[in-house]
Amino acid sequence: MGSCRQIAAQLVAPGKGVLAADESIATMSGRLEKAGVEATAENRRRYRQLLASTPGLADGASGIIFCDETLGQDFSDGTPFAQAVRAAGVLPGIKVDTGAKPCPGLPGETVTEGLDGLPARLEHYAGIGAAFAKWRAVYVIGDGLPSAGAIRSNANALARYAAACQAAGLVPVVEPEVLMDGAHPIERCAEVTAVVQAAVREELELLGVDLAGIVLKPNMVVEGKDHPEPSSPERVAESTVEVLRAWPAGLAGVAFLSGGQPPERATANLEAMQHHPTPWPLTFSFGRALVDPALAAWHGEPALVEAGQAALAERVAANAEAVRRRAQLQPA
Ligand code: 13P
């Protein structure tokens, strides 16, 4: 437990956040193809090596999340990914859920799977160098959705995963994501996010999960992506922090997902959060908002690796800068 607390604190250390590069094979393949890159295991590996070997990554990134395929791969020089990023001062993490699957009995909703055999997989990942693990549950906002059944089922799975991680000495990154799909106003997202997080808290408590040894990875509270009026960063920050206030002071920290927000918007929202004093750090664990510009700049060209890395470094630096504002606004 002690080591989980230490690693969790490291993940949310002042001025740092986590890079989520853990897209499943199917999702990553789709993104590569869209960028004009053939979706092979080798190209997925080359792309992840580009990200993970970005010069100065550790200045703004405390950790990087991979999927199972990448954690089993090596850099071109033969160094396994986990060792290579540790050597660069970044903690390697692993996505351990096996995806959001249609939930029998709950039409249109999903429950995230991956609990079967989880302790053995966690032991394996810890053995090959992983320091933390991630599990993502997704919730759709719709007419009467998310249902109480989806909220409860996903919260229970998140808690079982989190307890298993701590038993294996891996820090769980607990990700309940209320999706941006839809035209709902920000108030509706706030309401749903509060209910979803309350269920997660309850289940974590029932299973004795140590909140000082987890990182919460929630969605920001924003309007649906088809809503006509985008909320200001101040509004997003205020609404998000208000929901988060239900978490005890002992929670290690919060690292937001980006959820499909344009990169600059995610950064502006993150910066606005820093103006609110909270007992836990508020940082980033972005996927798309960090890596999309890098993939676009590289698009598979060996000669453009440095351009891809520069694009990633620029987004990491901007978000690290945003979270560093906290120290200026709230001197210890
Ligand atoms: P996004 O920041 O693209 O939402 O990804 C974060 C993540 O880890 C998804 O599970």
**Tens digits of per-residue pLDDT, 270-292?**
999 999 999 999 999 999 999 99
Tokens of residue 325, six digits: 């504002």
Share of the chain above pLDDT 90, in %: 98
66: part of which helix (H) or strand (E)?
Answer: strand 61-66
Side by side, the strands of the sheet bearing 91-95 are 17-20, 61-66, 91-95, 132-139, 171-178, 215-216, 253-256, 282-284
Q: Domain residues for 190?
A: 2-324
- Residue 259 Cβ contacting ligand 1 at under 6 Å: yes
Q: Nearest CA to 145 among 205, 99, 201, 103?
A: 103
**Tens digits of per-residue pLDDT, 299-325?**
999 999 999 999 999 999 999 999 999
- Residue 92 Cβ contacting ligand 1 at under 6 Å: no
State mean pLDDT over 224-232.
97
Which residue in the list 23, 95, 134, 175 is annotated as catalytic? 175
Residue identified by tokens 């229970």 is: 156
For 155, residues 6+ apart whose C-beta sits below 8 A from its C-beta are: 137, 176, 196, 199, 200, 202, 203
Asked if residue 298 has pLDDT above 90, the reply is: yes
Structural domain contains residue 331? no
Structural domain contains residue 243? yes
- Looking at this protein, which amino acid is placed at residue 306? E
Rounded to the nearest integer, the mean pLDDT of the chain is: 97
The answer to whether 42 is a known catalytic residue is no
Distance from C-alpha of 170 to C-alpha of 1, rounded to nearest angstrom? 9
Q: Is the distance from CB of 305 to CB of 50 less than 8 angstroms?
A: yes
- Residue 263 Cβ contacting ligand 1 at under 6 Å: no
**Tens digits of per-residue pLDDT, 38-81?**
999 999 999 999 999 999 999 999 999 999 999 999 999 999 99
Distance from C-alpha of 177 to C-alpha of 137, rounded to nearest angstrom? 6
Ligand 1 atom 5: residue of nearest CA: 287
- β-partners of residue 30 are none
Asked if residue 1 has pLDDT above 90, the reply is: no
Q: Is the distance from CB of 28 to CB of 45 less than 8 angstroms?
A: no
Distance from C-alpha of 47 to C-alpha of 219, rounded to nearest angstrom? 26
| Torsion angle, alpha carbons of 160, 288, 18, 20, to 10 | 50
Burial (Cβ within 10 Å: 0-12, 13-18, ≥19) of residue 65: buried
Q: What is the CATH number of the domain that holds 178?
A: 3.20.20.70
Confidence of residue 2 (pLDDT cuts 50, 70, 90): low
Structural domain contains residue 230? yes
Domain count for the chain: 1
Confidence of residue 15 (pLDDT cuts 50, 70, 90): very high
Structural domain contains residue 330? no
Asked if residue 332 has pLDDT above 80, the reply is: no
Which residue in the list 16, 95, 134, 217 is annotated as catalytic? 217
Q: Nearest CA to 172 among 81, 274, 65, 86?
A: 65
Question: For residue 46, what pLDDT is reported?
Answer: 98
The answer to whether 34 is a known catalytic residue is no
